[in-house]
Amino acid sequence: MALLLSPLLAQAATHDVTVRNNFFEPNDITIEVGDTVRWTNNSGFHDVTADDGSFNSATSNSFTFSRTFNSIAEVLYYCSVHSSPGQDINTRMNGRVNVVETSASTDISIDSIDAVDGAYEAGEDVPVITQLKNNSNEDSGNFNINFYVSSDNIITSADTLIGTKQVSNIAANAGLTIDENVNLPEGLVAGDYVIGAILDIGDSNPANDTNVDQTAIYVFTQFIMNAGLNDAWFNPLTDGQGFFITVFPDLNLISLAWFTYDTELPPEDASANLGDPGHRWMTAAGVIDMEKSVMNIEFTSGGIFDGASEIGRTDPPGSDGTLTIKFDNCTSGRIDYDIVSIDAQGTVPIQRVAGDNIELCNALLRESQ
Protein backbone atom coordinates (compact mmCIF):
# COMPACT_ATOMS: atom_id res chain seq x y z
CA MET A 1 0.00 0.00 0.00
CA ALA A 2 2.85 2.40 0.79
CA LEU A 3 4.26 1.87 -2.70
CA LEU A 4 0.89 2.72 -4.23
CA LEU A 5 0.35 5.85 -2.16
CA SER A 6 3.77 7.43 -2.52
CA PRO A 7 3.44 8.48 -6.18
CA LEU A 8 -0.04 9.80 -5.51
CA LEU A 9 1.17 11.89 -2.61
CA ALA A 10 3.95 13.24 -4.77
CA GLN A 11 1.34 14.55 -7.19
CA ALA A 12 -0.63 16.42 -4.50
CA ALA A 13 -1.20 20.00 -5.55
CA THR A 14 -2.51 23.24 -4.08
CA HIS A 15 -5.33 24.95 -5.99
CA ASP A 16 -5.93 28.65 -5.43
CA VAL A 17 -9.37 30.22 -5.23
CA THR A 18 -9.68 33.99 -4.89
CA VAL A 19 -12.52 35.37 -2.78
CA ARG A 20 -13.85 38.29 -4.81
CA ASN A 21 -16.54 40.85 -4.11
CA ASN A 22 -19.52 38.48 -3.74
CA PHE A 23 -18.13 35.59 -5.84
CA PHE A 24 -15.38 32.96 -5.82
CA GLU A 25 -12.88 32.75 -8.72
CA PRO A 26 -12.85 30.06 -9.95
CA ASN A 27 -16.12 28.91 -8.39
CA ASP A 28 -16.00 25.36 -9.78
CA ILE A 29 -12.76 23.36 -9.66
CA THR A 30 -11.80 19.72 -10.06
CA ILE A 31 -9.00 18.36 -7.91
CA GLU A 32 -7.60 14.96 -7.07
CA VAL A 33 -7.67 13.08 -3.81
CA GLY A 34 -4.96 14.48 -1.55
CA ASP A 35 -4.96 17.94 -3.12
CA THR A 36 -5.44 21.14 -1.13
CA VAL A 37 -7.64 24.13 -1.93
CA ARG A 38 -6.43 27.50 -0.67
CA TRP A 39 -8.91 30.39 -0.49
CA THR A 40 -7.49 33.93 -0.27
CA ASN A 41 -9.66 36.93 0.61
CA ASN A 42 -8.72 40.59 0.34
CA SER A 43 -12.01 41.87 -1.08
CA GLY A 44 -14.39 42.42 1.81
CA PHE A 45 -16.06 40.74 4.76
CA HIS A 46 -16.44 37.06 3.76
CA ASP A 47 -15.88 33.47 4.87
CA VAL A 48 -15.75 29.96 3.38
CA THR A 49 -18.25 27.48 4.84
CA ALA A 50 -19.04 23.93 3.67
CA ASP A 51 -22.71 23.22 2.91
CA ASP A 52 -22.48 20.13 5.14
CA GLY A 53 -20.69 22.03 7.90
CA SER A 54 -17.48 19.99 7.61
CA PHE A 55 -15.32 23.12 7.52
CA ASN A 56 -15.48 26.87 7.80
CA SER A 57 -12.99 29.70 7.83
CA ALA A 58 -12.93 32.76 10.01
CA THR A 59 -15.22 35.57 8.88
CA SER A 60 -12.90 38.43 8.04
CA ASN A 61 -12.02 41.02 5.40
CA SER A 62 -8.60 39.41 4.93
CA PHE A 63 -7.75 35.74 5.31
CA THR A 64 -6.10 32.68 3.76
CA PHE A 65 -7.85 29.37 4.43
CA SER A 66 -6.72 25.92 3.25
CA ARG A 67 -8.43 22.54 3.20
CA THR A 68 -7.03 19.18 2.06
CA PHE A 69 -9.51 16.72 0.57
CA ASN A 70 -8.68 13.06 1.10
CA SER A 71 -11.67 11.28 -0.43
CA ILE A 72 -13.69 11.36 -3.64
CA ALA A 73 -16.60 13.77 -3.19
CA GLU A 74 -18.54 16.73 -4.51
CA VAL A 75 -18.00 19.44 -1.91
CA LEU A 76 -20.28 22.46 -1.99
CA TYR A 77 -19.51 25.62 -0.05
CA TYR A 78 -20.67 29.21 0.33
CA CYS A 79 -20.04 32.54 2.05
CA SER A 80 -22.34 32.70 5.06
CA VAL A 81 -22.29 36.52 4.94
CA HIS A 82 -23.67 36.76 1.41
CA SER A 83 -25.36 33.43 0.62
CA SER A 84 -26.66 30.14 2.04
CA PRO A 85 -26.22 26.39 1.38
CA GLY A 86 -27.53 24.87 -1.83
CA GLN A 87 -27.61 28.02 -3.96
CA ASP A 88 -26.63 28.23 -7.64
CA ILE A 89 -22.84 28.61 -7.84
CA ASN A 90 -23.15 30.78 -10.96
CA THR A 91 -25.53 33.36 -9.49
CA ARG A 92 -24.75 33.42 -5.77
CA MET A 93 -21.61 33.45 -3.62
CA ASN A 94 -21.34 29.65 -3.69
CA GLY A 95 -18.72 27.27 -5.01
CA ARG A 96 -17.95 23.63 -5.71
CA VAL A 97 -14.90 21.40 -5.34
CA ASN A 98 -15.04 18.15 -7.34
CA VAL A 99 -12.62 15.66 -5.77
CA VAL A 100 -11.78 12.85 -8.20
CA GLU A 101 -9.58 9.80 -8.16
CA THR A 102 -5.89 10.45 -8.76
CA SER A 103 -4.97 9.93 -12.41
CA ALA A 104 -1.23 10.41 -12.48
CA SER A 105 -0.94 8.81 -15.92
CA THR A 106 -2.33 11.87 -17.76
CA ASP A 107 0.07 14.52 -19.06
CA ILE A 108 -1.41 17.81 -20.29
CA SER A 109 0.99 20.50 -21.50
CA ILE A 110 0.73 24.17 -22.41
CA ASP A 111 2.66 24.10 -25.66
CA SER A 112 2.35 27.83 -26.32
CA ILE A 113 0.59 30.98 -25.18
CA ASP A 114 0.36 34.15 -27.25
CA ALA A 115 -1.09 37.42 -25.99
CA VAL A 116 -1.76 39.81 -28.88
CA ASP A 117 1.09 42.34 -28.88
CA GLY A 118 0.42 46.01 -28.29
CA ALA A 119 -0.42 48.65 -25.72
CA TYR A 120 -3.49 48.18 -23.52
CA GLU A 121 -5.21 50.38 -21.00
CA ALA A 122 -5.51 49.04 -17.46
CA GLY A 123 -8.99 47.49 -17.28
CA GLU A 124 -8.98 46.47 -20.96
CA ASP A 125 -9.32 42.93 -22.36
CA VAL A 126 -6.34 41.23 -23.99
CA PRO A 127 -6.91 38.44 -26.57
CA VAL A 128 -4.85 35.34 -25.71
CA ILE A 129 -4.43 32.19 -27.79
CA THR A 130 -3.24 29.10 -25.91
CA GLN A 131 -2.27 25.73 -27.38
CA LEU A 132 -2.81 22.70 -25.12
CA LYS A 133 -1.78 19.09 -25.79
CA ASN A 134 -2.77 15.80 -24.18
CA ASN A 135 0.43 13.77 -24.32
CA SER A 136 -1.08 10.63 -22.81
CA ASN A 137 -3.24 7.73 -23.92
CA GLU A 138 -6.16 8.74 -21.67
CA ASP A 139 -8.73 11.51 -21.91
CA SER A 140 -7.91 14.41 -19.64
CA GLY A 141 -11.31 14.95 -18.06
CA ASN A 142 -12.36 18.30 -16.62
CA PHE A 143 -9.75 20.86 -15.52
CA ASN A 144 -9.11 24.61 -15.41
CA ILE A 145 -6.47 26.81 -16.99
CA ASN A 146 -5.66 29.95 -15.00
CA PHE A 147 -4.24 33.08 -16.65
CA TYR A 148 -1.89 35.44 -14.82
CA VAL A 149 -0.20 38.77 -15.48
CA SER A 150 3.28 39.50 -14.16
CA SER A 151 5.78 42.35 -14.23
CA ASP A 152 8.60 39.84 -14.71
CA ASN A 153 8.93 36.95 -17.15
CA ILE A 154 8.20 34.22 -14.59
CA ILE A 155 4.61 33.10 -13.96
CA THR A 156 3.58 31.57 -10.64
CA SER A 157 0.28 31.26 -8.79
CA ALA A 158 1.42 34.21 -6.64
CA ASP A 159 1.03 36.52 -9.66
CA THR A 160 -2.21 38.38 -10.40
CA LEU A 161 -5.00 36.08 -11.62
CA ILE A 162 -6.74 37.67 -14.62
CA GLY A 163 -8.94 34.86 -15.91
CA THR A 164 -9.94 31.22 -15.66
CA LYS A 165 -11.13 28.92 -18.44
CA GLN A 166 -12.74 25.56 -17.74
CA VAL A 167 -11.79 22.76 -20.14
CA SER A 168 -14.28 19.90 -20.24
CA ASN A 169 -11.92 17.38 -21.84
CA ILE A 170 -9.02 16.83 -24.23
CA ALA A 171 -9.09 13.45 -25.93
CA ALA A 172 -6.08 11.15 -25.69
CA ASN A 173 -3.13 12.37 -27.81
CA ALA A 174 -5.18 15.33 -29.07
CA GLY A 175 -4.66 19.07 -28.94
CA LEU A 176 -6.88 22.02 -28.12
CA THR A 177 -6.68 25.72 -29.02
CA ILE A 178 -8.19 28.15 -26.52
CA ASP A 179 -9.02 31.65 -27.76
CA GLU A 180 -9.81 33.70 -24.66
CA ASN A 181 -10.05 37.36 -23.67
CA VAL A 182 -8.50 38.09 -20.28
CA ASN A 183 -9.05 41.32 -18.38
CA LEU A 184 -6.22 43.49 -17.08
CA PRO A 185 -6.91 44.81 -13.56
CA GLU A 186 -7.66 48.52 -13.43
CA GLY A 187 -5.14 48.96 -10.63
CA LEU A 188 -2.09 48.04 -12.73
CA VAL A 189 0.54 50.75 -12.93
CA ALA A 190 1.95 51.72 -16.32
CA GLY A 191 4.71 49.43 -17.52
CA ASP A 192 5.65 46.21 -19.32
CA TYR A 193 3.90 42.98 -18.38
CA VAL A 194 3.85 39.37 -19.55
CA ILE A 195 0.85 37.04 -19.61
CA GLY A 196 1.13 33.37 -18.76
CA ALA A 197 -0.98 30.40 -17.77
CA ILE A 198 -0.93 27.54 -15.28
CA LEU A 199 -2.98 24.37 -15.57
CA ASP A 200 -5.07 23.53 -12.52
CA ILE A 201 -4.63 19.79 -12.90
CA GLY A 202 -2.71 17.12 -11.05
CA ASP A 203 -1.05 15.29 -13.94
CA SER A 204 2.09 13.21 -14.26
CA ASN A 205 4.32 16.04 -15.52
CA PRO A 206 3.82 19.32 -13.63
CA ALA A 207 6.88 20.79 -15.37
CA ASN A 208 4.88 21.52 -18.55
CA ASP A 209 1.75 22.81 -16.78
CA THR A 210 3.05 26.40 -16.93
CA ASN A 211 3.96 28.63 -19.86
CA VAL A 212 4.44 32.35 -20.48
CA ASP A 213 4.44 34.63 -23.51
CA GLN A 214 7.91 36.18 -23.29
CA THR A 215 6.89 39.12 -25.49
CA ALA A 216 5.68 41.81 -23.12
CA ILE A 217 2.61 43.95 -23.62
CA TYR A 218 2.61 47.56 -22.49
CA VAL A 219 -0.06 48.69 -20.03
CA PHE A 220 -0.96 52.37 -19.82
CA THR A 221 -3.27 54.15 -17.42
CA GLN A 222 -4.41 57.06 -19.61
CA PHE A 223 -4.22 57.32 -23.39
CA ILE A 224 -2.84 60.65 -24.61
CA MET A 225 -2.82 61.62 -28.29
CA ASN A 226 0.61 61.80 -29.91
CA ALA A 227 2.19 62.23 -33.35
CA GLY A 228 2.26 58.46 -33.84
CA LEU A 229 -1.46 58.72 -34.65
CA ASN A 230 -0.67 60.70 -37.83
CA ASP A 231 -2.02 58.38 -40.49
CA ALA A 232 -4.89 57.39 -42.76
CA TRP A 233 -7.80 55.86 -40.84
CA PHE A 234 -10.99 54.19 -42.02
CA ASN A 235 -13.94 51.96 -41.20
CA PRO A 236 -13.55 48.63 -43.09
CA LEU A 237 -17.34 48.42 -43.42
CA THR A 238 -17.34 51.62 -45.51
CA ASP A 239 -14.18 51.02 -47.52
CA GLY A 240 -13.44 53.74 -50.09
CA GLN A 241 -13.82 56.65 -47.70
CA GLY A 242 -11.96 57.65 -44.59
CA PHE A 243 -9.92 60.16 -42.64
CA PHE A 244 -6.47 61.74 -42.74
CA ILE A 245 -5.54 62.67 -39.18
CA THR A 246 -2.65 64.86 -38.04
CA VAL A 247 -1.77 65.50 -34.39
CA PHE A 248 0.32 68.55 -33.41
CA PRO A 249 1.39 67.80 -29.81
CA ASP A 250 3.41 70.99 -29.37
CA LEU A 251 0.37 73.07 -30.35
CA ASN A 252 -2.04 70.75 -28.50
CA LEU A 253 -4.13 70.59 -31.69
CA ILE A 254 -5.48 67.88 -33.99
CA SER A 255 -6.72 68.31 -37.55
CA LEU A 256 -8.75 65.94 -39.69
CA ALA A 257 -9.74 65.69 -43.34
CA TRP A 258 -12.76 63.49 -44.05
CA PHE A 259 -13.07 62.10 -47.57
CA THR A 260 -16.60 60.85 -48.11
CA TYR A 261 -19.64 61.16 -50.39
CA ASP A 262 -22.90 63.05 -50.57
CA THR A 263 -25.91 61.62 -48.69
CA GLU A 264 -27.53 60.70 -52.01
CA LEU A 265 -26.16 59.51 -55.34
CA PRO A 266 -25.95 62.32 -57.93
CA PRO A 267 -28.30 62.15 -60.94
CA GLU A 268 -27.12 59.83 -63.67
CA ASP A 269 -26.62 62.78 -66.01
CA ALA A 270 -24.52 64.72 -63.47
CA SER A 271 -20.94 65.21 -64.55
CA ALA A 272 -17.68 66.67 -63.35
CA ASN A 273 -14.48 67.55 -65.15
CA LEU A 274 -12.42 65.74 -62.52
CA GLY A 275 -13.53 62.90 -60.26
CA ASP A 276 -17.01 61.92 -59.18
CA PRO A 277 -19.62 64.67 -58.67
CA GLY A 278 -20.70 62.92 -55.46
CA HIS A 279 -17.30 63.23 -53.74
CA ARG A 280 -17.18 65.38 -50.61
CA TRP A 281 -14.39 66.70 -48.38
CA MET A 282 -14.93 67.93 -44.84
CA THR A 283 -12.26 69.25 -42.52
CA ALA A 284 -12.17 69.68 -38.77
CA ALA A 285 -9.76 70.90 -36.10
CA GLY A 286 -9.82 70.98 -32.32
CA VAL A 287 -7.90 71.13 -29.07
CA ILE A 288 -6.48 67.87 -27.69
CA ASP A 289 -8.00 66.72 -24.41
CA MET A 290 -6.00 63.62 -23.47
CA GLU A 291 -7.46 60.84 -25.66
CA LYS A 292 -10.20 62.91 -27.34
CA SER A 293 -11.02 66.19 -29.06
CA VAL A 294 -14.24 68.03 -29.90
CA MET A 295 -13.85 69.56 -33.36
CA ASN A 296 -15.83 71.98 -35.56
CA ILE A 297 -16.72 70.60 -38.99
CA GLU A 298 -16.19 72.71 -42.08
CA PHE A 299 -17.31 71.87 -45.61
CA THR A 300 -14.75 72.54 -48.32
CA SER A 301 -16.20 74.38 -51.33
CA GLY A 302 -15.45 77.05 -53.94
CA GLY A 303 -12.07 75.80 -55.07
CA ILE A 304 -10.79 74.96 -58.56
CA PHE A 305 -8.24 72.25 -59.36
CA ASP A 306 -4.67 73.58 -59.13
CA GLY A 307 -5.98 77.13 -59.31
CA ALA A 308 -5.90 80.22 -57.14
CA SER A 309 -9.41 80.76 -55.84
CA GLU A 310 -11.06 81.70 -52.59
CA ILE A 311 -12.08 78.66 -50.58
CA GLY A 312 -15.43 78.80 -48.85
CA ARG A 313 -15.33 78.65 -45.03
CA THR A 314 -18.08 77.89 -42.53
CA ASP A 315 -19.29 81.03 -40.81
CA PRO A 316 -19.64 80.98 -37.89
CA PRO A 317 -17.26 78.05 -37.13
CA GLY A 318 -19.17 74.96 -36.03
CA SER A 319 -22.46 75.98 -37.67
CA ASP A 320 -22.24 72.96 -40.01
CA GLY A 321 -21.70 70.62 -37.07
CA THR A 322 -19.20 69.06 -34.74
CA LEU A 323 -17.45 65.75 -34.30
CA THR A 324 -15.74 64.13 -31.33
CA ILE A 325 -12.77 61.89 -32.01
CA LYS A 326 -11.61 59.51 -29.29
CA PHE A 327 -8.76 56.99 -29.42
CA ASP A 328 -8.84 53.77 -27.39
CA ASN A 329 -5.20 53.00 -28.12
CA CYS A 330 -2.69 53.29 -30.97
CA THR A 331 -4.74 51.10 -33.32
CA SER A 332 -8.41 51.95 -32.83
CA GLY A 333 -10.81 54.73 -31.99
CA ARG A 334 -14.15 56.20 -32.96
CA ILE A 335 -15.65 59.38 -34.36
CA ASP A 336 -19.05 60.64 -33.19
CA TYR A 337 -20.46 63.24 -35.59
CA ASP A 338 -23.37 65.66 -35.49
CA ILE A 339 -23.78 67.48 -38.81
CA VAL A 340 -26.57 69.89 -37.91
CA SER A 341 -26.84 71.41 -41.38
CA ILE A 342 -28.21 68.11 -42.73
CA ASP A 343 -29.49 66.67 -39.42
CA ALA A 344 -27.10 63.70 -39.54
CA GLN A 345 -25.73 61.99 -36.44
CA GLY A 346 -23.76 58.79 -36.05
CA THR A 347 -20.63 56.95 -34.96
CA VAL A 348 -17.76 55.72 -37.14
CA PRO A 349 -15.38 53.13 -35.63
CA ILE A 350 -11.92 53.72 -37.09
CA GLN A 351 -8.70 51.76 -37.51
CA ARG A 352 -5.46 52.40 -39.35
CA VAL A 353 -5.14 51.72 -43.05
CA ALA A 354 -1.53 50.66 -42.42
CA GLY A 355 0.44 49.88 -39.28
CA ASP A 356 3.69 51.72 -40.01
CA ASN A 357 3.29 54.26 -37.19
CA ILE A 358 2.02 51.93 -34.46
CA GLU A 359 5.50 51.37 -33.02
CA LEU A 360 6.12 55.13 -32.87
CA CYS A 361 2.74 55.72 -31.25
CA ASN A 362 3.41 53.10 -28.58
CA ALA A 363 6.86 54.56 -27.88
CA LEU A 364 5.46 58.09 -27.49
CA LEU A 365 2.67 56.72 -25.30
CA ARG A 366 5.29 55.26 -22.94
CA GLU A 367 6.93 58.67 -22.63
CA SER A 368 3.61 60.27 -21.73
CA GLN A 369 2.83 58.01 -18.76
Task: State yes or no: pLDDT of 8 exceeds 70.
Answer: no
pLDDT digits (tens, 9 = 90+) for 253-272: 999 999 988 888 878 777 77
Residue 280's beta-bridge partner residues? 260
The pLDDT of residue 315 is 64
Q: How far apart are CA 281 and CA 258, in angstroms?
A: 6
**CB contact at 8 A, 145 and 159:** no
Q: How far apart are CA 6 and CA 110, in angstroms?
A: 26
pLDDT-derived band of residue 318, with 50, 70 and 90 as boundaries? Answer: low
The pLDDT of residue 128 is 98
Element (H, E) at 361: helix 358-368
pLDDT digits (tens, 9 = 90+) for 122-157: 999 999 999 999 999 889 999 999 999 999 999 999
Percent of all residues in the chain with a pLDDT value above 70, rounded to a whole number: 91
Q: How far apart are CA 333 and CA 353, in angstroms?
A: 13
Element (H, E) at 150: strand 143-150
Percent of all residues in the chain with a pLDDT value above 90, rounded to a whole number: 75
Q: Which residues of 166-178 are buried (b: 16+ CB within 10 A; e: fewer)?
A: ebeebeeeeebeb
DSSP 232: E
Q: Is the peptide bond before 26 cis (omega within 30 degrees of 0)?
A: yes
Residue type, 201: I
Element (H, E) at 128: strand 125-134
The pLDDT of residue 266 is 76
The pLDDT of residue 278 is 74
**CB contact at 8 A, 191 and 148:** no
